[in-house]
Amino acid sequence: MTELLSAPSESTAAVAAPDTGGEPVEAIRPQVLAIARAAKVASRVLATLPRARKDAALNAMADALVAATEEILAANAVDLERGRSADMAAGLLDRLALDPGRIAAIAAALRDLAALPDPVGEVVRGSTLPNGLRLRQLRVPMGVVGMIYEARPNVTVDAAGLALKSGNAVILRGGSAAARSNEVIVGVLSRALEAQGLPGDAVQSIDRFGRTGGVALMQARGVVDVLVPRGGADLIQTVVRESSVPVIETGVGNCHVYVDAAADLDMALAIVMNSKTQRVGVCNAAETLLVHAQAAETFLPVVLRSLAEAGVVLHGDSQTADLAPHGVTIRPATDEDWAKEYLALEMAVRVVPDLDAAIEHIRTWSSGHTEAIVTSDLTAADRFVAELDSAAIMVNASTRFTDGGQFGLGAEIGISTQKLHARGPMGLAELTTTTWVVYGNGQVRA
C-alpha cells in the first residue's frame, strides 16, 4: 500500500478522516494554521531578499547538512529499521535510505541551486502601449508552498532549497516512514537559516501532527498558497480530491521505452537497461518495453536475458514469451501490468506490429510522465514526439533523464504531469507566479 499522509500500512480511504483514537482535524487545525501564518510572515522576508543573501543561505544549509551527517544517518537508520519491520517495499526503502554519499549529493544540489540565476524579478514579457503605459510581467514568489510526500528525505532538502531560492516559505508533511530523518533534517536547515539572520519558520514540518496535520494543511486555503503532492497515485489523487488549497499535480511514472524497427540495437539495449535498472524506485524508471515486430526476433532474446540477469521479473505478451531465450521466464501480462508503476525490478514487455500500435499502446496506458523512442528514423521520431502527450519525450535517450537536476534546473520539487501552470520537472521558475507592473505618467482611462 502506498504511503499516503501517514504510515505505508494505513489505507487510502482513511486519509481525509481523523486518526483513529487521536485528535480530530478540528483540534489540530489551529496549530497547523499557526505554523502556516508564521510561514507567511517568513515568506514576506524571503520575497525581498537579494540573490546574494539567498545564495549564502543555501551554501550555509549545504554545509550544515554535511556537518550533521552522523546525526542524520542515525535518524535514518531508525526509519529504515521501522520500514523493514513493516515490510516496506524495496523501492520505497531505496527512496528512504541515506548514506554519506547521498547526503553529500543532497548538499551539492543546494550549492548547485545557489549557482543558478534568481528567478524572482525576471521580466517574462513587456511592452509600451500607444498611450505611453509601460508594462512588465515579472516573476514573483508564490508565498507559502505546502509539500505532502512519501519516504523521500532528499525531497525535504530539495523543497527547502527550491523554496528559499524562489523566495517562498515551505511547510513539509513527509510522512511517518521518514519521520525521524525529516525531523533532524528540518532542524538542521532551520538552524542554518537562523544563523544567517533569516527566519527559521521559512522551513517547517507538520509531521508531528500525523495524518490529521496533512488534512489540516490541505484545508488551509488563504494561508497556504499552493500544495504539491509527490508520491504514489493514491497520495496524489487523495490530495487533488480533498484539498481546498490549489494543487499542482505531480504524476506517477508509468514510463515506456519503444524500440523501433530502425533502432540501433546496441543503443537500444543500453537505454532499456539504464531506464529500468539504474534505479528502480523512482518515477522516471521505465515500466514497459515495446518492441517493433521487425526488431523483436533479434533484439528480444538479448534484452530479455539481460533484464532477467539483472533480476527483473518479466511480464509479457505471447510473442514476447515465444521469443524469450531458454531459462528466461515470462509471466503473462495483463491490463494491470500495462497500467502499473512497478517501482521495482519488474517490467512489462510487448511486441507491436508498427509505430502506430506503439503510440496507441502508450496513449492507452501511459501516466503522461516520460516516453522514449530508440530509432534512427527521423520521421518515426518526429511522429512519436508529435502524437504523444506526455510531460517529457526522449529520442534515443534514457527515461531516467527526466529530472530537474539532469535538465539543469537544479533540484526539483516534483514532475508535473498536468497542463496548467507547470509541466515536467518543476524547478525554480515553476515555484513562481507573475505580477503585472504598469508604469505611467498620469494616464487615466477614457
Same domain (yes/no): 199, 266: no
Average per-residue pLDDT for the chain? 92
Q: Report helix, strand or coil for 406.
A: coil
242 shares its domain with 302: no
For 262, residues 6+ apart whose C-beta sits below 8 A from its C-beta are: 375, 376, 377, 380
The verdict on residue 412 lying in a domain is: no
- The per-residue pLDDT for 1 is 29
Q: Establish if 183 belongs to a structural domain.
A: yes
Binned at pLDDT 50, 70 and 90, residue 22 comes out as: low
- Identify whether residues 238 and 271 lie together within a single domain: no
- Cell numbers for 29: 487545525
Q: Please list, in sequence order, all residues whose beta carbon lies within 8 angstroms of the beta carbon of residue 44, skipping any fewer than 6 positions away.
A: none
The Cα–Cα gap between 267 and 295 comes to 13
Give residue 14's pLDDT band: very low, low, confident or very high (50, 70, 90): very low
223 neighbors 40 (Cβ within 8 angstroms):
yes
More confident residue, 105 or 95: 105
User: How far is it, in rounded angstroms, from Cα 286 to Cα 273?
Assistant: 9
Lowest mean pLDDT among 104-108, 232-236, 344-348: 232-236
Q: What is the pLDDT of residue 47?
A: 97
Mean of pLDDT values over 13-42: 74
Q: What is the pTM of this model?
A: 0.82
Q: Are residues 45 and 130 in the same domain?
A: yes
36: nearest Cα among 150, 200, 146:
146
Using an 8 Å Cβ cutoff, are 166 and 46 in contact? Answer: no
* Inter-axis angle of helices 100-115 and 51-67, nearest 10: 170
Residues 147 and 272 in one domain: no
Strand 313-316 vs strand 226-230: parallel, antiparallel, or unpaired?
unpaired
Cell 521466464 found at:
329
Count structural domains, the chain: 2
Q: What is the largest CA-CA distance in the chain?
A: 83
Whether residue 5 is predicted with pLDDT greater than 70 in this model: the reply is no
Q: Are the C-beta atoms of residues 344 and 280 closer than 8 Å to each other?
A: yes
- Where residue 73 sits, what CATH number does that domain have? 3.40.605.10
Do both 243 and 318 map to the same domain?
Answer: no
Q: How far is CA 86 from the centre of its chain?
A: 24
User: Are 393 and 384 a contacting pair, CB within 8 Å?
Assistant: yes
Domain check: are 80 and 139 in the same one? yes
Chain segment 116-130, per-residue pLDDT in tens: 999 999 999 999 999
Q: Residue 393's domain spans which residues?
A: 255-406
Distance, CA of 210 to CA of 348 (rounded, Å): 36
- Distance between CA atoms of residues 53 and 278, nearest Å: 37
Grid cell locating 360: 496507441
- On the question of pLDDT at 31 being above 60, the answer is yes
**Do 223 and 136 share a structural domain?**
yes
Do the beta carbons of residue 120 and residue 47 sit within 8 Å?
A: yes
Same domain, yes or no, for 357 and 377? yes
For residues 347-364, give the mean pLDDT: 98
* Beta pairing class for 134-141 and 432-439: antiparallel
Q: Does residue 58 lie in a domain region?
A: yes
Same domain membership, residue 214 and residue 68:
yes
- 140 inside domain: yes
Question: Which stretches of 278-393 are DSSP H helices?
Answer: 293-309, 318-323, 335-339, 355-365, 378-387
- CA separation for the pair 378, 375 (Å, rounded): 8
Q: Are residues 235 and 177 in the same domain?
A: yes
Sheet holding 313-316, edge to edge: 330-332, 313-316, 346-352, 286-292, 255-259, 370-374, 392-395
Is the sign of the CA dihedral 59, 63, 66, 72 positive or negative?
negative
| CATH at 261 | 3.40.309.10
50 with 90, same domain? yes
Q: Is there a domain that residue 172 lies in?
A: yes
Residue 416 lies in a domain: no
In the structure, what pLDDT confidence band is assigned to residue 9 with cuts at 50, 70 and 90?
Answer: very low
Cell of 73: 544517518
Picking from 307, 314, 342, the residue whose alpha carbon sits closest to that of residue 329 is: 314
Within a domain: residue 77? yes
CB atoms within 10 A of CB 24: 12
- pLDDT tens, 419-439? 888 889 888 999 999 999 999
The DSSP 8-state label assigned to residue 176 in this structure reads G
| In a domain? residue 136 | yes
User: Do 376 and 389 contact (CB within 8 A), yes or no?
Assistant: no
